[in-house]
Structure 1
Amino acid sequence: MMGFSLLSNATESGTLMSSLSLLPRTRHSLLSGAALAAALSASLGHADSLSVGIVGDMASLDPAAINGASWENDVLQDIYEGLVSTSASGELIPGAAAHWQVSADGRTWTFTLRDDARWSDGALVTADDFVQAFRHQLDPTVAASYANMFYPIRHAQEVNSGKLPLTALGVTSRNSGRTLVIELEHPTPYILRILAHGTAAPLPTHLIAKDPQWKSIGHLVTNGAYTPTEWAPQSYLRVQRNAAFHATHDVNYDSVTYYITDSRQSAIMRFRAHALDIARTVPAERLQWLQQIEPQALHASPMLGSYFYAFNTVNGHPTSDPRVREALSLAVNRTTIADQVLAGGFVPSYSLVPASMTGYTPQQVPDATARSERARQLLKDAGYDQSRPLIIKLRYDNSEDNRKSALALAAMWQRIGVKSQLEKAEPPIHHAAIHQGDFDVARAKWDADYDDAMTFLDTLTSWSTNNYSHYHNSAYDSLIKEAVDAVDPTIRRQLLEQAEQVAMKDYAVLPLMTQRSLNLVSPAVSGWQDNALDVHLSRWMKPSAQDAAQH
């Protein structure tokens, strides 16, 4: 049916985790009778609890220690609250800050913290908590995956590279901790979106100073709508409503349990068995079936997300040769993968920045006539032929969509004489392998952290901690720096477009598709609103009127 069944040169390795049961299997300690009852209640979707299926586990509850996966940001924004937060529709709203003002030159932002912002232990949230948090994110010994997102802050890059001390960072606590001043290197139109991200959360300085286990369950305190109470790694994470949260009376569910589903397919099964109220990121290849079977529950919406494959450009890998990268790119039929292999759940893409990005024209990878012939010639020029075929390690994280796209790529590359060694892994292991450079080609995606092209283009800068391809191009870096300093929005946009053009001509990555957010939300849950960033805080969810009446 797909036309890619002959994969004699592709091998597949990796270990699938066993299917999760509907109830948690493990704990840090034995479940008490009360906890077991709570777990059963959560699994049955009672009105006082919300059950959410997420693709992978948290790497940590420390905002600076996550791997960068989208589900980690979902959890962080439930348990922490930054200076700025996000409404149900995805709009920016005040968070821990009651209000703010910006200087005439756009470089100094002054935030006044709300008087009722408190940690879950009742302690007051202070500007010092944010100073500590930003320094922690940029501490070179921490190696935070999102450190570069905060580079607009004055001296952030120098601090993160170890050239300046943490105290040089442009964040200051004033007025006895009630005011936070953030100085920027340059005007940054999307700075509030950065500050709404889960990694921009404060840290409890009052606890860190006296408790080295501050980030562990039973010790951790948070300032968001919920606070963690139980965590069984690779099984579930449970959070309870934070009674000290300033808007706790508007939080409708007493608890949220995030169940780690071993596959997106199992998430659908558990949702249909009423074991999940919400299933996040269901497989695109099930879109048409879900439109028929779960029309009321399915939320399919355009989002700012790029689905691509990273080329390892480090010397010693065959993909460090731009001729190889171009050949692999030319051999790919994106329309076939998006429309046939994945059944229309994605849109073919030839650029890193999605076409739906407002105020920006995405720059596409170059195309060519007689693509297969051109690809074979490029491989021959690079020293590969039938007697010495190109062999690549192709990594992907375990899901049906990713498996199908990887197999399709391997089949297409086989036609130009390339042998693929496929390696699959659970998402946290896959992300770790990418960061360690253990791949030639690896499945990747980037969901916009803010609605600006920079959120995608910054990932290819030589200083980015999310530069999966380990790509380095001085011309690209210079254009990004010029765009950062540009005051005129038209000039800034042109510089960003020029930068993407450089990267696409260099085949820094293999853009494949743009994403649609695909989520299942039970009709018993109301408050969900589709938005381009696919951000949905649990505090906005509530039992539907019908469900509330039944309980």
Structure 2
Amino acid sequence: MTPSALRLARSIAAFRFAAALRAAAAYSAPVAPVALVCTLALAGCGAPRTQDAATAAAGDAAYFGDVTPPARDVFTFALGAEPESFDPGLASGQPDGRVARLLFEGLTREDARTLEPRPGQAYRWEITPDGLTYTFHLRPGIAWSNGAPVTAADFRWSWLRVINPATGARYGNLLAPIKNAEEFNKGKLTDENQVGIQAPDDSTLVITLRAPTSYFLYLVQYYTCLPTPRAAIEKYGVRWTRPENIVNNGPFLLDHWRQNERFEFVPNPRYWDRKNIRLERIVGWTVEDLNTCANLYKSGVFDWNPSGYLPSQFIPHLRTFKDFRHGPYQGVYYYSINTTRKPYDDVWVRRALTLCVDRESIARDLLKGSRDPWGNMTPSGYPGYQPPPAVPYDPEKARECLAKAGYPGGKGFPKLSILFNTSEDHRRIGEAIQQMWKRELGIEVELSNQEWGSYLQAATNLDYDVARRSWIGDYLDPNTFLACFITGDGNNRSGWSNARYDALIHASGFELDVAKRMATLREAEAILLDEAPVIPIYHYSTNEMVKPYVRGIYITPLDVHPLTYVWIDRQWREHPPEVASLETRAK
């Protein structure tokens, strides 16, 4: 396609999408499921589609909306909120990670079905018998998008940048298993040569750990560990990720970015496995409204509506369609309490708040059974880990706790504000908890809705009373949840600090006996739940919509979906459907 034709196509696509967005927004208020199915069809707002006689066949009614494949190999999906940053070293949200993983590739990469580590920029590695040293060997000839070679020194510089306290990376603690990385990250050590990250030559990276870490290869493929281009960062500063400045090494290039509208990606001709990439373009639209996402999927604008972007009240109805997928997911939705503010620095206040959340009614009545009520900070599914007892719903005990804090019946308690980012589900949950605390504790509660960027800034700066939060596991181990709450961690964002808790998390990193390690983590979680800087609410599960012609997207326990090898099957009716993976679609 010529540059002028591409500009024209973009203009037409943007015009059509804007029209679709306006039409979909008109239906953003809650409507009955029948109305959602029968009246939200939008015409002419997606990429050109191939049409055949079979489209009108009765079998297509089993799917939610248009199932006509796009005429070209263009894959479109709901990205959700505008990423705060897709600089891998600074990224911290799911939209951030989705963009970063398209543009960059680490030493290892996730298997699309199992998420097990597969060779990425490194084609092989060795681990010493004591589990302390990992030696990665980079592929010959790998290059940045500007043609410069990708070297082991690039990975070393990128990882040192993440743990450099001056960078302010929220995931700096992710590399704590590396020898002296935690000390360097906390400023206790300034000599980078003492950190266990060495590049003896251009193609060899040697990592020395402080203790054996069974999940280290899973950490290596996380987006925080993706390499970043030193020359571009030093030349352009914070603007290095602009399309005209960015240099990357992953399967796709950033071809177009319009903030708060869309990202467009095209295959990277220098990527080592370019020959196996079948898509010619990926488009991610930044749409936060859940009803709008569902409407645009139904109309054929989106080929994939990821988990988290379906209105929960409609999920019981959407489950009846063949393109609906449901599966287990390592994520917990919770509220955090700002323990640096009075009266929330009082543990009795925090206990009163968490004991007065009826998780069962939220999951059953508001979320229509699409999520499980959850009173722990770690999700289910970790082999060998038995969590401590979950926080119960006990309004009588909650009132006793509030009285011990000096606020019997809520008298004298200041108005409490619940912070959340724009989402109908967040609002509905906030309203439900607002009523619970008012009814059972006599506390006045207001809701504070902010757009994603402002919300993140407020949560990070502890500019809130109680905030909507969620955490998705970065790897399959309870440490991925519990390590967030050690003192000063960039993902703590509650101001909470407990020396015993910190010591237990630290000790678990050195414990070689699996049973003892899990017992140590269990004790730490018990402290976290008792001190209550967090209020667990529900256990995530994946609920997503995938067009039947899309191949290569599977249900995974971390809701991570590598898109490198996704493709469009225009003869999908003639081929058996793919097995979604962990579970088939819900019946």
Same fold (TM over 0.5): yes
Deviation at 1:308, TM superposition (A): 0.8
Q: Does 1:403 align with 2:427?
A: yes
The equivalent residue for 1:98 is 123
Quick check: 1:390–1:417 contact (8 Å CA) kept in 2? no
Q: Distance in 2 between matches of 1:98 and 1:158?
A: 30
Q: How many Å apart are 1:296 and its aligned residue? A: 2.0
- Which residue of structure 1 aligns with residue 40 of structure 2? none
Question: Residues of 2 paired with 1:120 and 1:285: CA distance?
Answer: 44
Q: Retained in 1: the 8 A contact 2:338–2:495?
A: yes
The residue that corresponds to 2:322 in the other structure is: 296
1:497 is displaced (CA, Å) by 0.8
Task: Report the TM-score, using the length of structure 2 for normalisation.
Answer: 0.83
Letter in 1 for 2:316: Q
Q: Which residue of structure 2 aligns with residue 180 of structure 1?
A: 205
TM-score by length of 1: 0.89
How does 1:6-17 map onto structure 2 within 5 Å? none
**In the alignment, does 2:395 pair up with 1:372?**
yes
Point out where structure 2 has 5 or more consecutive residues left out of the alignment: 1-5, 17-44, 49-69, 575-587
The residue that corresponds to 1:33 in the other structure is: 8
What is the correspondence of 1:90-169 to structure 2 with a 5 Å cutoff? 90-165=115-190, 166-169=192-195
Match of 1:19 in 2: none
Where does residue 273 of structure 1 map in the other structure? 299
8 Å contact kept, 2:79–2:284: yes
Deviation digits for residues 119-178 of structure 1 (CA, Å, limit 9, x no counterpart): 222222110110111011112121011111111112212222223234443211122x10
Share of identical aligned residues, percent? 29
1:85 is matched with which residue: 109, 113, 118?
A: 109
| TM-fit CA distance, 1:548 | 11
1:392 aligns with 2:429: no
Q: Match for 2:396: what amino acid?
A: E
Q: Can you give the 5+ residue segments of structure 1 that lack an aligned partner in the other structure? A: 1-30
Distance 1:42 1:206 in 2: 38
Q: How far 1:545 sits from its partner (Å)? A: 4.1
1:403–1:163 Cα change, 3 Å: same
- Counterpart in the other structure of 2:579: none
Task: Report how far residue 530 of structure 1 moved.
Answer: 0.8
In structure 1, what is the equivalent of residue 86 of structure 2?
A: 61
1:39-79 CA distance string (max 9 Å, x none): 6797454432111102211222311222x111211221111
Match for residue 357 of structure 1?
382
For 1:256, what is the secondary structure of its paired residue? strand
Displacement of 1:112: 0.2
Q: In structure 2, give the amino acid aligned to 1:83.
A: L
Q: Does residue 171 in structure 1 map to residue 197 in structure 2?
A: yes
SS in 2 for 1:105: coil
| CA contact 2:46–2:300 (8 Å) conserved in 1 | no
**Residues 539 and 548 from structure 1, CA distance in 2 versus in 1: closer, same or farther, beyond 3 angstroms?**
farther
Residue pair 2:252, 2:268 contacting (<8 A) in 1 also: yes
Distance 1:460 1:507, change over 3 A: same
Q: Residue 336 of structure 1 aligns to which amino acid in structure 2?
A: S
Partner of 1:218: 244
**531, 534, 548: which one aligns with 2:559:** 534
Q: 1:341 aligns with which of 366, 370, 384?
A: 366
Amino acid at match of 1:55: G
Listed one character per residue, the Cα deviations across residues 78-119 of structure 1 (whole Å, up to 9, x for unaligned) are: 111001101110222111101111122211111000114222
Which secondary structure does the structure 2 equivalent of 1:351 belong to? coil
- My pick for the range that moved more, 278-287 or 349-358, is 278-287
Select the residue among 212, 230, 243 that pairs with 1:205: 230
Equivalent residue number for residue 289 of structure 2: 263
- The one-letter code of the counterpart of 1:393 is S
- Residues 201 and 548 of structure 1: CA distance in aligned 2, closer, same or farther (over 3 Å): farther
Instruction: Please give the residue correspondences for 1:414-425 in structure 2 after superposition, counting only pairs within 5 Å.
Output: 414-415=438-439, 416-425=441-450
C-alpha distance in 2 between matches for 1:366 and 1:302: 21
What is the match of residue 8 of structure 1?
none
Match of 1:47 among 42, 50, 72: 72
Q: 1:240 aligns with which of 262, 266, 278?
A: 266
**1:386, distance to aligned residue in structure 2 (A):** 5.2
In the alignment, is the contact (CA less than 8 A) between 2:552 and 2:563 conserved in 1?
no
Q: Contact 1:396–1:430 (CA<8 Å) still a contact in 2?
A: yes
Find the aligned partners of 2:160 and 2:474 in 1 and give their Cα distance. 20
Task: Supply the distance in 2 between the matched residues of 1:487 and 1:288 (Cα, whole angstroms).
Answer: 45
Question: 2:543 maps to what in 1?
Answer: 518
Higher relative contact order (Cα pairs below 8 Å, separated by 6+ residues): 1
SS at match of 1:81: coil
- The CA distance in 2 between the partners of 1:42 and 1:129, in whole Å, is 40
| Count of matched residue pairs | 512
Larger CA deviation: 209-218 vs 530-539: 209-218
Secondary structure of the residue aligned to 2:427 is helix
Q: Distance in 1 between matches of 2:143 and 2:261?
A: 30
Q: Is the 8 A contact 2:90 2:224 kept in 1?
A: no
Measured after TM superposition, the shift of residue 304 of structure 1 is 0.5
Letter in 2 for 1:103: T
Helix, strand or coil at the partner of 1:308: strand
Cross-structure match for 1:282: 309
Tell which deviates more after alignment, 382-391 or 266-275: 382-391
* Contact 1:96-1:113 within 8 A present in 2 as well: yes
Following superposition, the deviation at residue 202 of structure 1 comes to 0.6
RMSD value over aligned CA atoms? 2.0
Deviation of residue 34 (structure 1)? 5.5
Q: Deviations over 1:305-346 (max 9, x none)?
A: 0111111111x3322211111111111111110111111111
Question: Counterpart of 1:319 in 2: which secondary structure?
Answer: coil
CA distance in 2, matches of 1:390, 1:330: 19
Contact conserved, 1:130 with 1:203, CA < 8 A, in 2? yes
Where does structure 1 differ by over 6 angstroms across 4 or more consecutive aligned residues?
A: none
Q: Which residue in 2 is equivalent to 1:17? A: none
Aligned-partner residue type, residue 401 of structure 2: L
Q: Which residue of 2 aligns with 1:507?
A: 532
Which AA in structure 1 matches 2:326? Answer: A
Give the aligned residue type for 2:213: T
Match of 1:9 in 2: none
For 1:228-275, what per-residue CA distance to the aligned partner results, in whole angstroms no more than 9, with x for missing partners?
Answer: 121111111111111111111111111111100131221111111111
Question: What is the aligned counterpart of 1:319 among 344, 369, 374?
Answer: 344
**Counterpart amino acid of residue 391 in structure 1:** K
Alpha-carbon spacing, 1:38–1:117, altered in 2? closer, same or farther (3 Å) = farther
Amino acid at match of 1:474: A
Cα offsets for 1:8-46 (capped at 9, x unmatched): xxxxxxxxxxxxxxxxxxxxxxx9435435767974544
| Cα contact 2:197–2:206 (8 A) shared by 1 | yes
